[in-house]
A and B are shown apart, each in its own frame.
Chain A
Amino acid sequence: MIRFLTQFGRYVIMLKKVFSKPEKPSIYYKQTMHELVYLGLNSIGIITIISFFMGAVITLQTAYNTENPIYPTYLIGLGCRDSIILEFSSTITALILAGKVGSNIASEIGTMRVTEQIDALEMMGVNSASYLILPKIIATLLFNPILTLISIIVGILGGWIAGTLSGVITSQDFIYGIQYAFIPYYITYSMIKTLFFAFIITSVSAFQGYFVEGGSLEVGRASTKAVVFSSVLILLFNVILTQLLLS
């Protein structure tokens, strides 16, 4: 318990440093643009592939579970849409990004720590926590909602292609299903979750990297911890946010 409180205290102190006034906004802007490409644009490929197959499987499984004449087939499209918007695109995307982006952030910052690059920044009078972490947080907060939207669109597209090609649903029924009883608030809910998850992934991973002590072995461990802790926190906050936003 004491260990947890100590770590939490360090995390809060680090965040205080991260959100202090930037030394030179123009440099932070440049860094943020770089991180948008590095952490955001470079993640589109993996998100697209996973979302496509995720949508396809959801459609096929929904069709298999509703193989009953009393259920109209358009429910397959509706089920696919709601599952993707409410849960899969925000949460699964976040878990994937915790693995890809989280480990990347922890190892990058951790390596900078063990090779004294962070000391060099501090030595020059640069607020290293803010310089290294703030642009990453801003970039993921800006870009992860876009990734979630891409995931929703590609997921539904994957569901439509899988459904029509396998013959479990017609194209008209699927399109009718994804339009039926649509609640726009579900998108808002998904975006709110995405923003929380983006902050968790970036700040927790940066924390793991920033306080590494030792060498390459410890950087590897920090990278693993970043993924594990981010994933657990994402699942925990998924429950909390769902209760708060949908109850």
Chain B
Amino acid sequence: MIRVKNLEKSFNDNLVLDDISVTFETGKTNLIIGRSGSGKTVLLKSIVGLHEPDKGEIWFEDVLFNKLDFAAKKKIREEMGMLFQGSALFDSLTVEQNVRFPLDMFTNKTSEEKNERVNFCLNRVNIINANKLYPSELSGGMKKRVAIARAIALNPKYLFCDEPNSGLDPLTAILIDELIRELTKEFSMTTIVNTHDMNSVIEIGENIVFINEGIKCWEGTNKEILHSDCEALNDFVFANALAKQLRLSENQ
């Protein structure tokens, strides 16, 4: 479980996150949604420690993460996996080397054990016969899947995904969503997904937090989102044709 309490973050006097408090539960796909520039990525990067919050607390189970020193943070970070918006695969390494990187860096496994783990992770995300390819030779969807394989290589307790569907066709986006949901259940991870994709919200949003202009406006499930009183959320949700249709069919 990850708990965020009264989080504030600003850049050059521009308040980006204002008093955010939220709990992300274990074994669930937790979604942070909002318009572009609403502060979703800043919230996610503050949670994982890539941004230093101005105020507030971030708890990983019963550990106050944002007050730890570098060495102590490192221990928690070894339990995290993250899928970045642009995949962030290392250009100079092959697919296999990318997935192997955290194993080389943080484990004392034998070469065979590492190979076995790499193959397991790549098979799990359906990457076959691409071990020796470089990121520049992969499609957008494949890059995302390799990035997921790298994120789960160390069997993490926490998985963070920053806009996993951006730049993908609808079919591949659904496959990535499915994969994230399956992995969350399979490994009992606490998963946090940043998205503004309504398909993802409806498909995998077990716990949804809506951020608008740096403020948490709403929290609920994918069942509840279509019946919210929050005006900003409704503007966001019903800009999407699928959500409109869903509401229409529910009303009928």
Contacts and interface: CB of A to CB of B under 8 A. Distances in A.
Interface in A115-156: 115-117, 119-120, 122-127
Nearest to B104: A27
B134 interface: no
A23 interface: yes
A3 interface: no
Contact of B82 (A112, A115, A120, A126): A120
A116 B77 CA distance: 16
B102 A115 contact: no
Contacts of B105: 23-24, 27, 124, 126
Interface residues of B, number: 24
A23 to B, nearest CB: 6
B85 A116 contact: yes
Interface in A89-120: 111-112, 115-117, 119-120
A23 B84 CA distance: 23
A124 B101 CA distance: 10
A130 B105 CA distance: 13
B99 interface: no
A90 B36 CA distance: 52
B74 A119 contact: no
A122 B45 CA distance: 11
Contacts of B70: 127
A124 B105 CA distance: 9
A113 to B, nearest CB: 11
B85 to A, nearest CB: 7
A120 B101 CA distance: 11
Nearest to A38: B92
Contacts of B106: 23, 124-125
Given A27-B104, A119-B50, A125 B78 contact: yes
Interface centre among B73, B80, B84, B88 (most CB of A within 10 A): B88
A38 B78 CA distance: 30
B78 A116 contact: no
B86 interface: yes
B88 A115 contact: yes
A16 to B, nearest CB: 12
B90 interface: yes
Contacts of B229: none
A122 B88 CA distance: 12
A24 B45 CA distance: 26
Given A24-B104, A116-B88, 8 more contacts: A115-B86, A120-B82, A120-B90, A123-B49, A124-B78, A124-B102, A124-B105, A125-B77
Interface of B: 45, 48-50, 70, 73-75, 77-78, 80, 82, 84-86, 88-91, 101-102, 104-106
12 contacts: A23-B106, A27-B105, A115-B91, A116-B85, A120-B82, A120-B90, A122-B50, A123-B82, A124-B80, A124-B105, A125-B75, A125-B106
Closest 3 CB pairs of A and B: A125-B77, A125-B74, A120-B88
